[in-house]
Amino acid sequence: MAAPQAKRIKLDPDPKQPIIFTTPDMRPDVGLQVFNQQFHVYSGVLKIHSGFFRKYLEPSFGLLPTSTSPTLSSEWFTKVDADGKSWSLTSDYKFRDADTSRFSGSMAIQEEAIRKLLCAIFSRSYDIKNIYELQIMTKHADYYCCLPILSHSLAGPLYNSHGLVSTIGKAPCATLVAAYRLRHKQLFNDSFIQAMGPLKNPQYKQLKEPNLLRMAEVAYTKMCGEILKVHQGMLEIFADANTSFKDTGKAMVELADQALDEKLTVVQPMYYRLCYDHAYKSSEGAKAVRKLLGPILKNNLVLNKSKVNSGEGHFDDYFLSYKIERYPWDDTQIDW
């Protein structure tokens, strides 16, 4: 007795067999040849979530792609661009057996990115290894006009994929651009905050997107203003005639030696953290210091659960208290 159709659907990649994406009682009718991996998918769901396929799988937009397969109504093949650095899917049959070996990137990574993008489209669970993989998925989602469904599907991967969140800091600007395209607030929040550091040489200066660069420059200028306010408050503690405050001020001055970098300059977030955590003799002095430094040392990261705060560990020269008042996109748009 033949196994039920549900048992024959493959969820895991196997380069020797097509990976099937469909819905109950519907057969796959579109073939996607992504380098060495075939995907057989149901066009109904594909057209709902992908503006690209919604356009090119409809006869009203021109010649409907055809297929020589008895089970597929449309077939798409990998077309490597002339520079060998990028590729796309095409329904042109002359690319059916085209040589894709000149592609300079990893075919396996591209195949897996498309598989996970299809998982998002067909509401299947998936994980994301790192930010680089998300960037590739976002690039394809942008090209195939399915950014909204990828964005909406990220709740699971962001929660379950430890490697994804932990690698945001390795490429915060690239992640910020991806989050901007996806219009994903949590991912945008964390990548924006990390792009603002380190304080002495913030990474946001690498941004090429004018809207993001302008937004970062405004935020950095505002942070510099907050630092000046903190310095004023520290001077008031140093100059206070109250004996207990003088002891507090003296301790704060001595802590500066523990917050020096290799150039023997003070790392301000680290110095503030040392001052905040120090056990002062005066409870009144400790209260004043923590009231002064608490706001600027606040951690506004929402995805990062490492419990490493401003001025600590790999965030020793980072302030994590940046707050996004307004996201740079129109929340009322449901398709983009």
Grouped pLDDT means (10 residues each) for the chain, 336 residues: 45 68 93 96 96 84 60 93 96 93 96 98 96 96 98 94 90 98 98 98 97 98 98 90 77 95 95 97 93 98 91 97 96 92
Task: Tell whether 320 is covered by a domain.
Answer: no
Task: Tell whether 332 is covered by a domain.
Answer: no
Whether the CB-CB separation of 89 and 34 falls below 8 Å is answered with yes
Task: Tell whether 71 is covered by a domain.
Answer: yes
pLDDT in tens, 95-126: 999 999 999 999 999 999 999 999 999 999 99
Task: Tell whether 55 is covered by a domain.
Answer: yes
- 238: helix, coil or strand? helix
Which pLDDT score is estimated for 1?
43
Task: Tell whether 155 is covered by a domain.
Answer: no
Residue corresponding to tokens 């660069």: 213
Which pLDDT score is estimated for 305?
82
User: By residue range, what is the domain housing residue 255?
Assistant: 209-315
Task: Give the list of residues 6+ apart from residue 84 with CB closer than 8 angstroms, or none.
Answer: 102, 103, 104
pLDDT in tens, 33-66: 999 999 999 999 999 999 999 999 876 554 455 6
Which pLDDT score is estimated for 6?
44
The residue out of 122, 144, 173 marking a domain boundary is: 122
Question: Smallest Cα–Cα separation from 38: which of 96, 106, 81, 121?
Answer: 96
Which pLDDT score is estimated for 241?
57
Question: For the chain, what is the domain count?
Answer: 2
> What would the two tokens of residue 327 be?
């996201």
Question: Smallest Cα–Cα separation from 111: which of 221, 20, 33?
Answer: 33
DSSP structure string for 7-67: HH---S--TTSPEEE--TT----EEEEETTEEEEE-HHHHHHH-HHHHHHTSGGGSSPP--
Question: Smallest Cα–Cα separation from 137: which of 166, 157, 115, 122?
Answer: 115
The residue out of 107, 122, 137 marking a domain boundary is: 122
The residue out of 87, 105, 122 marking a domain boundary is: 122
Shared domain for 213 and 113, answered yes or no, is no
Task: Tell whether 190 is covered by a domain.
Answer: no
Task: Tell whether 134 is covered by a domain.
Answer: no
Element (H, E) at 221: helix 210-239
Task: Tell whether 47 is covered by a domain.
Answer: yes
> What would the two tokens of residue 114 be?
């498309």
Which pLDDT score is estimated for 163?
85
Which letter does DSSP use for residue 95 in this model?
G
Whether the CB-CB separation of 32 and 89 falls below 8 Å is answered with yes
Shared domain for 118 and 221, answered yes or no, is no
Q: What is the pTM of this model?
A: 0.89
